[in-house]
Copies of this chain bind each other. A is one copy, B any other.
């Protein structure tokens, strides 16, 4: 089980780079642990924090998200709605990245696991000399629910 991520791991990663473990950073990370499978924007995080208890400056939220991304804890992604969204990076070397299905009617984002792209990556690397480090796949369409509504 490579991804039982804990606050302790977080502390360690911070120390390695002489960063400090602040309550704000803990709270931001905690939100992502409490909302698995969601794709939260900076505003989302800020709102959730406000609702629960602790007000954190929006700028601090942005800075925390950037830090968490640099530490490899969060993944940053864009769904075309004008803001960046994040989720915990559950990638481990033996796992396959998941793809996103984005409903163009209700905006819902679903996830889909697949490993078909492994072959494609190898093919691309050998044909183009490009060294691939990451990929991002988005499918746009209409979800089941929106299809049944008329």
Min CB–CB distance A108 → chain B (angstroms): 10
Stretch of A14-22, A41-49, A126-134 lying at the B interface: A126-134
Count of chain copies: 2
Contact with B along A77-96 (1 / 0, CB 8 A): 01010000000000000000
Min CB–CB distance A138 → chain B (angstroms): 5
Complex contact B131–A120 (CB within 8 A): no
* CA of A134 to CA of B114, assembled, Å: 18
Known: A134-B141, A135-B138, A140-B135. A101 touches B80 (CB 8 A): no
A interface with B by C-beta (< 8 Å): 78, 80, 101, 103-104, 110, 112, 114, 116-117, 119-121, 123-124, 127-144, 147
